Structure formats: C-alpha cells, structure tokens
Chain A
Amino acid sequence: MEDSELVVQGLRTMLEPHASLVTLVPHRADAPAPLCDLTLYEPAAHRRTTGARGVPQRFPTRMVAFGWDCTPEAVSTEMSRGAAGFVSKWLPARRLVWDLLQISEGRVVVDAWTGQTPANKPPAEKWPLTQRETEVLSMIASGRANREIAEETNLSINSVKSYIRGAYAKIEVSSRSQAVLWAIQHGLLVSADSDVAGPRTSHPVRA
C-alpha cells in the first residue's frame, strides 16, 4: 500500500492478527512497485498530487481505494477511475480483511462504512435482508435465472420469486438492475462461475 507512515504502521498493527490471510507491503511512490495482489491507495492523496481528474499511478495489481472520505461522491469518483473496490479507513480489521479477500477473488466491493451517524439520518440500520434473501439477491446479481436459483437452493420457483420481491421491497429497489447495483455496493456480487454455497478460498492476500 501507499500511504503515510502513520496509516501504514497503524494498519500493520490492525492486520497482525490476520497475518495468515493478509500481508501488508508498504510502497513509496518513487520506489519500484512491489509484487502484490492488491494496491491500496488514499484517494485524497492522489487528488492532491494528480488533480481531480487524475488517474492513480498504475501498479501491476488491482487498485483499491482506501480512504477516510466515504461520501457517495468520493466512492463514485474512485470507481469511475477504475478502482477494483472502495474500502473505508473507518472499517474494523476483521471487516477490512474480509473485503480485501473478496476483492482479491475478483468481486467488486464498495464498503463505505464510517461508523458515524449523520445528525439528520436515522441510526445505522442492521442488515435488512434475511439469509435466504441475501443468497437469492447475490445470485440475481450474478445473472442467474429464477429456475437456476431454484435448482441451486432447492427452493420452489414461487419461493424464489417471493424472496426476490421481499428483498426488493426491503432494499427499496424496483428493478433487477437496481438490485444488481445494490448487491455490488454491498459486496454481494458472486461470479457466475463460482460456487455460491461453497467455501470461500483463503489464499493469503498481499496488499
């Protein structure tokens, strides 16, 4: 990763208990790029050095925005610049590690959690979907047909459709494309080739 010493040392301490999953490799902009799976960068630093329309310095790895500013504008700016994902610097260690593992497996993850409750918004809500709704929604996002979802989950078609309607109502979307967008923004996108119910791979990630 490329960031201040304070952040690098702090992150290293945070990730120490997860050393079997993630290895942190510091990187300075003027040094050769290290061999790693993901590159974390601070969007604000890049905006300072390359201008608002600048593209982050390219590494031979996937770029993951890792910032304090988690506003929708900041997230959409980085995703439109080609980031493989966006993770908040406010995230607790376990959740950060989980997000990075997801991204390293090729999923698009945006986790802009800040732990802060804006004064004009209701308190942070818990995950709105049931386990089944979450599973069905992730399969919708990966492009599966209802009949395929029914076969893979051993649910009836009517149950699948009921879960879809329930999920749409809870996340307040009215179309499949909006549901796909929501699923991506909440880290649910599962590759069509992967086994949804199967175990997650846990290859160590170097970032």
Chain B
Amino acid sequence: MELLPQSREALDEYVTLSVDDVEGLLRVIEGWAVRAVPECVALSVTLLDDDLTFTLVDDVANPRSSRSRQGVGSAGGSPDDRSNLYALDEGGWADMARERAFEGIASTVCLPVVEHGRAVLNIDLYASTAHAFHDRVEGLVAALGAWQAGAVTNADLGFDTLRRAEAAPERLREQRLVDVAVGLVAARVGVTTDHALALVREAAERAGLSEVEIAGVARSLLG
C-alpha cells in the first residue's frame, strides 16, 4: 500500500513525543492487516487525541499491482490512461485513490485501540470482498491490540476516513498557527499556555472569529 500524498505531507509536519516513527507504526499495522486479511485494500489510522487521520491505499498508481479492481469496469478511459493522467498531480492522485477505493471496497471494520480505559486510536480496514472480515475480527483484535467489543463492521463503506486524511495537512497548518499564537500570548501576558489557549478561545468567541483568525491577529500584534 502507499501513503496518500496528503498523509505523507501530514506525517512530515506531525511530531509527537509518544511515537518516534508514526509511519513505522502505520507500516506495522499494514503488515498485520494484510497478513490477516489479504483482501485488505486500504487502511486508515486516526489518532483521536490529535484528531488526525493517516491513510494507506492499495498501489493505485500501478494498475497491474492493484488488488482493488477485480471485475470492475472503467468509468472513462482505460485505467492505464487514467493512471498516467492522475500521476501528474497530487489532487488527481487523491481523486484516483478515492475512485478506485470506492470501486474496490466491499466491507470495512473499525477497530478502536484503548489505553487505560480511553480510546486513543481508531484503525479502519477496508477490503475488496464482502466477507473479508468474517471470522477474522478476533484475530485482528488480538494482533493489533484493539478492543473487540468496540469493533464495528461496514460502518464506513463511503471511505470517510479518506476525506479526513485529505484534510490533515490543513488541520496541522492551522494547529501550528494557533500553537505559536498561544506561546506568544502566554509570554506576553505572563500565564501558562493552557491559560493562554483559553484566552485565545475566549477572544475568538467574543469576536465571532475562528481560533485560527485570532491566532493570526495575535501573531501580527505580538510576533
């Protein structure tokens, strides 16, 4: 599978102290998922604390290696033609990923991972056959350390996590603006960053603006 370009971009910007190598974590999950469910054509991992989704999809840029188009007719031009066209730009690549994933997804499972009684990750797996996860959820739960009672099948046949993954770079950009503004406000006002964040949120609410807009104002005034 390949990282969605937006997920690559988001991974470049995302830094967490708890996991040194988020892409490595995604690859480990991919390995377990594909071994347990060979029909798996895509997977998404959502970090719930940061509200960030990263997505891996089957090798859509290489039509010969894709497992997701078994018996699916093309909707306009041959797959090879479209691959060549889409490979030229990132937006087209994402469109192609979605289009082919939609064509190929026949079943899904969402596996929450719980730590200390709190859900920290959602792992969404997508497969090309309707019964790919039948009798396999238990094995996946054990392999991925997920919470079996929280597993939900076929809840995301529309591949909504892909849209969330596409939005991740913009979300990280906005978070960066707010983080910097919060630091500036904390230094200027002489308060903790938690207090400064509350001030930024309060200012945004009173002004009827978004936190990002208020962050921009704060940075112009204090940066």
| Chain A residues at the B interface, C-beta cutoff of 8 Å | 75-77, 79-80, 108, 110, 141-143, 145-147, 157, 161, 164-165, 168-169, 174-181, 183-185, 189, 191-192
Contact = CB atoms under 8 A, between A and B. Distances in A.
A146 B17 contact: no
A189 B12 CA distance: 23
Interface residues of B, number: 27
A183 B182 CA distance: 13
Contacts of B219: 143
Interface stretch (B61-69, B124-132, B187-195, B201-209): B187-195
B15 A164 contact: yes
Contact of A179 (B183, B184, B223): B183
B156 interface: no
Contact of B179 (A168, A176, A185): A176
Contacts of A169: 17
A128 B43 CA distance: 41
Contact of B177 (A77, A80, A143, A179): A143
B197 interface: yes
Shortest Cβ-Cβ A-B pairs, 9 listed: A180-B183, A76-B190, A176-B179, A177-B182, A184-B187, A177-B193, A177-B179, A143-B180, A181-B183
B115 interface: no
Interface in B16-36: 17, 20
Nearest to B222: A108
A110 B15 CA distance: 27
Given A176-B179, A178-B183, 4 more contacts: A80-B188, A157-B12, A175-B193, A180-B182
B205 to A, nearest CB: 19
Contact of A79 (B177, B188, B223): B188
A30 B181 CA distance: 38
B186 interface: yes
Interface in B148-183: 173, 176-180, 182-183
B190 A165 contact: no
B223 A191 contact: yes
A165 B17 contact: yes
A181 B187 contact: yes
A183 B177 CA distance: 16
Nearest to B188: A79
Nearest to A168: B17
Nearest to B194: A177
Nearest to B173: A145
A185 B197 CA distance: 18
B188 A108 contact: yes
A116 B20 CA distance: 38
Contact of B223 (A77, A110, A143, A185): A143
A192 B177 CA distance: 12
B109 interface: no
B13 A108 contact: no
A177 B12 contact: no
Given A80-B190, A108-B222, A110-B187, A177 B180 contact: yes
Contacts of B9: 147
A94 B46 CA distance: 51
B176 A176 contact: yes
A79 B184 CA distance: 11
